[in-house]
Structures are given as structure tokens and as C-alpha cells.
Structure 1
Amino acid sequence: MKTFILSLAAAAALFAASASAQDLQPLDRIAAVVDEDVILASELERAVANIRGQYATRQDQLPPQDILERQVLERLITLRLQTATAQRTGVRVSDQDVDQAIAAIAQQNNFTIDQLRRQLAGDGMSFDDFRDSLRDELLIQRMRQRFAQTRISVSDAEVEAALSAQATGAQYRLAHILVALPEGATPEQIQTGQQKIDGIKSLLDRNEMEFSAAAVRYSDSPNALEGGDLGWRRADEIPAAFATAVTDLQPGQIIGPIRGPSGFQLLQLVDRRDAAQSSGAGSVTEFQARHILLRAQPGDDAAAKARADSLRARIVGGADFAELARENSDDASTKASGGDLGWFTQDQFGPDFGSQVAAIGDGDVSQPFRTQAGWHIVQRQATRQTAGNADNRRAQVREAIGQRKLEDEWDRYVRELRGEAYVSVRVGPNRDPEIGG
């Protein structure tokens, strides 16, 4: 949960400029048209300024202004497309959800809400912009959860193969550079991409640029501005096209270019370590929680949802969760104990239930959510790390494979959104020629 909240805070800080088109000022120019929405030049300027603030001591790692603006504008475009899709498909984030996320961010940083406001103001960010950006990030997180539940599955055979591949226990920190190709790329587009990736590789081979700096300047990946960093991964979490070669690399060495489904890639092994070196290696996250289950009768799903909404409102208003569970829950195995589920791993009660528990903080009460069993309300009470046994290792590996699949499928899905959208860029050298600007 801490990682999730901090990532929300970082994303909100980066895209605090992404305001509603309703805030359009009379003299504000349009930077891009995205379907029926617009991104303002002032939004782009603030987002670029936020990036420059993050790189205040590393300005030499940033690309030239026009390239930086193009990268940031592309991020704003894909962000706008994702939030619009989430809203169109029924994903909702309430004011109370945003308030809870802000409270969690403040708590994680040992701030009061007022201190967080002052911190944001000191960083040149309004609290309203922060709220709007946080709402967008929560929307996208929820859409990703729904996407994972409907499109991602992991077979037992995949888990067994991954467990076998973990015999060495090695972990690898990786970074990559992507030169993206569109779906159904023409021979000319493929040739241009090949020339670009070969040129980047030549710069790196001649030691004229650090890999991270080249990623910031040239990569088309969403993590370009983070130097292409992919973090620490086990062998089973590395794409198959790279996995075998990575195990033979020394830190600093580079693989590629390799043509993949997204385009041409270069991959660098930044560092390697034994699993025992990593903090928490072999440990598993467990949650303690209690829940209320309301089974929906055929044709009465809306009524069950309404009951769940009413019970949650009473809990938020101060009613005792355990007492309401004893009076209302349809889970016979936990009803007498006030809905107590004890300690459990994320996938123990299924991915739908586990993702909801993982997405809230200790002490928080979830929004009502639906599983095959019915409508649930969950209160997460505590979190702990425990030594992993065989079952826990399997659950961990299954989650890792699912996460890797989700990353790949989600990136592909976002590219599809981008390819199908109407986007007209009105600024910079890549602006639409018929529009000018």
C-alpha cells in the first residue's frame, strides 16, 4: 500500500498541470486536441516545469526543450485518454475516495493535511490541482484493476516453470530504451525505427552518453523520464526475448537492439544480486481484515448494492463494523466473529477480493465491491511480512507473472487507445501542418 500511495503522489506531482478544459483562460493556447477534450499550453508548461524541478540537480540529463515538451505532451495525451476511457466505462472515484488517498499520503509522509498543503504550495502546486491529478490516478488504477480481472490469467504450468527458473535466486535490475513502432508498421516506418535504435546503440557503444541519459532523451517508453528504469526483477519476470541473455551479462552491459511487439528495444543490466541480499527476500505480505458479505439474489443485484452502500455509510459515520457484520453479513463462517477473516495473503480469497484489500490502507474501509459471492465491504486492520512457505512462494510467483502480463497487456492497450483516438498536436515541430498554432 505504501508503494501504491507514494506512486500516486509522484504521479500527481508530475501531472499536477493536467487541469480540466473548463479552466480555459481567454488567452490560453491549445497544445493538443484529444478526441473531444483539449490540453492547454499552460498545462504543458506547468508539467514541463514540474519535470525540470525534479531534475533540478541533474539538468544535463534532460533532453532539449522541444524534445522534453514532446515527451511530456505525449504523457498528458495518454493520461487524458485513460481517464476519459475510465469514466466512459463506468469507473468512478468519489470525493471521499480522494480524501482518503490524500489522508494516506499525508500519513505516509508524517504530515497533517495542512502541512501537506504547505508542502505542495512550496513546490508551486495548488491543492486543487493535486486533488484533480490524484483523482485521475485513482481512476486509472481502478481501470487497471478491472482490466487485470477480465484479461489476465496465470496457469499452474506457468507457475511451475517460473519456480524452476528461480533455482539460482538471482535478481536483476534493468533499464530499457524503446523505439516504438505503430501497429501494422510500414516498411518505411520499420526502417526509420531501425536506424534510430542503431544510432542510439552507436552512441552508447562509443561511451558518448550514459544509458539513463539516452533513455530520457530518446526512448518512447512511458518510463523514459525515469531513465528507462525497470527496477529489480527475477528471471521469471524478464520478457522471454531477454531472459536467457540477461543471466550472462555483467552490470553495465547492453543487449540489443531486439525487435519486439512494441518496437525496437535496448536493455541494460544495471546491477544483479542474490535474492538473499534484497530486503524482505523470501517474505510474503499478509493482511488482517474483516468483511461484510451481502449475497445478491437473482434480479436483486441493485438492492444488494444499495444495502452495501447504506452499511458503509453507517460505518463511516461511526457505527461498529463488527456489530454490523454480526447483524447483516451473509458469510456464515465469519458472521459470529464480526466478519473476522484473520491473516491471509492477497490471492487467498481470489484476485478480485485481494486487489480490493491491497488497494486500501490499514484502518480503511473499502467501497462496496462485487465478486462472484456477492457484494463485500472490507475493513483492513493490519499488514505484516511473514516468512514464505511453499504455498506462499507459489502465490508470490503467480502474482509476479500476473503483474508482468498486466504491464505488457496494459501498455499494448494504451497504445491501442492512442492509435484509435483523434489527436491533433498544435505546438512544437510535430504540430499538425493544417492547423499551425
Structure 2
Amino acid sequence: MKFTVKLRLLMLLLLLLSLSQQAQAQVIDRVYARVGDDVITKFDIESLNPERTKAIYAIKDQEEQKRVLADYTKKTLDFLVDQYVVLNSARREGVRVSDQEVDNAVKDVMEKNGITEQQLLELLAKENRTMAHYKWQIKMDILSTRVRSRVLAPKVVVTDDEINKYIKENGNKLDISDQLELRMLKLENRLALERALEFFKKNGSFVETTAKFAGDEEGGYLGWFEYDALDSSLKDLLKGKHKGDITAVQSFGGEYRVLYVENFKDKYEGTAEVRQTAAGAIADEKTKIVYDKWLKDSKQRILVQYMY
């Protein structure tokens, strides 16, 4: 009889303990929001910044603790909702990031910085962050970048007019210079050079003149040059010269030469490299605007239910 009573009491205690644990689990895992296919729980919010959560629960004034906790919960919940909107929208676009990719990214960070996992954990702890939080951040960064590059960037168009405008407005930030396409005629005799120039004035073709008097079938072609990269003597010689202009005669190393400007590009037209840089900057800015709109539209498409 006594054994039966003790057994019943033990079973009752176990039942009460089980119910208590279930109730505690329900409190810890209370759902604060649903975003598409995902849920955000109390645990998600409090584990995002465990040190901050710990500090809040350490506040002795209950009213103050309640106020601070409510503020932290709202801000963190809004942040996570935005994150999960991106996650759900990216899935619909076929963009995903695997756990393995995140792990590889973390390894790359450690290798590039020459630190161990333990050292990384210590650095994160100083910033009140956990490894889980850090991996989540990396995952969302990769995901956001992929959405921009794979989904949105192909829709962005950059025109030549936009590039020209950007270069003019940001010339002081770019390495820009006037560009000249040059040809050269050089002869050992000054008089012979003067005759060649007379022929050029009548003929009008610098290529034919160079071929006839210097025997250069390529017409003395030198190529494209940036004005600012030339030495001071050449700058003085070519200053103010444009397409079709010819320089004064210059004596150099026992020879006499003139330079002919085949083509001229204003510095604001930019080199291929400068134009590519400008196009990239414009595309990045446009993609950011498109991304913000995509995110705004996603918030309207993805069902978000707050339960907090």
C-alpha cells in the first residue's frame, strides 16, 4: 500500500515536472512573428545578442526592465523581420546560401587574418556577438550580394550620357587626362623636314608624307597617350593641340621631328578604364535603388504576421 502511494506520488511529481518544462519551453519558444515560411521566436530575439539580453534581465527595477526589454524586443524583431523577408524573397528568386558556404566563408576570414576559431570567438565576444550571430550575418551578406548580382544587376542599364555626366561631376576623384593619338615624322636634316612639311600642307596626309620622306609605311604611328603622363617638354609642345594639329619642329638627339595629333579625346570623355570605373559606380548606385525597391515590394508580397 505504502509502495503504491509512493509510486503515485512519484508519477505525479514527474507529470508536474514535465508540464513545467513544457510550459517553460512554450515561453522560451513563443512565436513573435511569422514571415512567409519562417517563424521568429522569443529565443531568436534573445539569442541574437545574449549579452544584451542578460544585462536587461539583470535590471532590478521591474518597470525599467520591462521598458528596456520591450524596446530591445521591438527593434530586434523589426530587424529580423526584414532579414527573413529577404530570405523568403531570395528563395522565390531561386537564390540560396548553404551552411557549407557560410562555414567556408568563416574559414576564409580566419585564414586571411591568421587567427584560430578560438581567437575569432574571443573577438566576437568582445563585440557581444556569438558565432551563430556572426554566421547569420555572413549568410545574409552573401544572400544580399547574390540577389543584387544575379537578379537585379542584369536589369540595370548604364548609358554613355550617364557615364559622361558622372566623369564631369567626379573628375577630381578620378584619374582623368586629355588623350592624344600621335604620329611622328623625324629626319636628320632640318631642310628635308621643312620640305616634308611643305608636301604635307599640299597633300594633307601625314601618313603619306611620313612614308614618302621617312620611309615609314606605318606613318610614324606612336599610339594613344595621356597628356598628364607626358614629360614637361612634350606637354609644352602639345599644349592646346587637338585633332589635325601639328607641333613646332623640335631638335632631339641630332634629329628633327614634329608630332601630329591624329585624334584627341577630352579628359571628360575618359579612358576605357575610367569609363569602366564610372559605369561600375553608376551601376552600383542604381542597383542599390533597385534593391531597396525590391525589398519594399517584397515586404508587400511576403505575408508578415506580428504576434508580439
TM-score, normalised by the number of residues in structure 1: 0.36
If each structure's strand is expressed as a fraction of its own residues, which one has the higher value? 1
If each structure's helix is expressed as a fraction of its own residues, which one has the higher value? 2
Higher relative contact order (CA 8 A, sep 6+): 2
User: Which structure has the greater CA radius of gyration?
Assistant: 2
